[in-house]
Amino acid sequence: MYTAFAYQVASTINIKEIKQQSKWLLLFQDSDELYYSSAPNKFIYIFHYGMVSFFNLTKNEIDEALAYIKPFCANYISEQISEEVQVNVVANTLKVEFDKIILPSISEEMIRLVMLNASQSVALNLYSEITEQLLTETNQHTLYLEKKGRLDISGYKLKRFIGKVLNIKNKISENLYIFDSPDIVWEDEQLNKLNSDLKATFDLKDRYKLIRDRVDIIKENLELFKDIMDHKESSRLEWIIIILIVIEVIDVFITRLFF
């Protein structure tokens, strides 16, 4: 039995610099990913959005690899979110089960798909936690609005909150490609089946939809908050203008009365 581990180790990883200095055998690359073989039947998969996945590496080998990657990371995470996947090899068998994956052989492309989907699963865990926290915070403001009839957040803080939500939304769109598949799967029926089964077993599409739905709910609430804030600001300006007009009228009246 073999084990694949996927870790969220940073907010981003500098793929270009790792590629220039890496000591491992490069098997696949693009602008967002690097897929290496560190030894026979041992693989390392690095993603620019802070994910690293390992297959068939010992704990010491993983620690050494993480120490090597750390200088290329932005906002390195010491307590990583991780996922573990068990992989068995049985001749002429391809099956994805709840607790393990059975492959007909140690194929670098099949292993790559396992590591890719495990990494996407960990990323979904991270974004699920983030969006849940944002939704909880948004709900606190809506509850206050319901009870008090006004918002408990300033315009400056609201703008920062909106910016935070938009950044998360952009990161989700950039880093999660749940509905995309590597080009190689379209050329091989086995790989296509494995990829589809992995997505289904990890429940990637439904979890991704839940996260997007949360973001949409948060955005809808923030748009309402912004409209309320704009109306409040507009009303304040109207009152300022009215007061200035009244002062000017009084000033004109006094001038004509006494001068």
Give the integer Cα–Cα distance in Å for 196 and 176.
16
Whether the CB-CB separation of 135 and 218 falls below 8 Å is answered with yes
Per-residue model confidence as pLDDT tens digits over 107-161: 999 999 999 999 999 999 989 999 999 999 999 988 888 888 878 877 788 888 8
pTM: 0.82
Concatenate the DSSP letters of all residues of 149-215 into one string. SS-SS-HHHHHHHHHHHHHHHHHHHHH--TT---GGGGG-HHHHHHHHHHHHHTTHHHHHHHHHHHH
d(CA 109, CA 115): 10
Instruction: Write the pLDDT tens digit of every residue in 209-238.
Output: 999 999 999 989 888 888 877 656 656 656
- Range of lowest pLDDT (6-10, 108-112, 153-157, 248-252): 248-252
244 or 223, higher pLDDT: 223
Structure tokens at 80: 């990583």
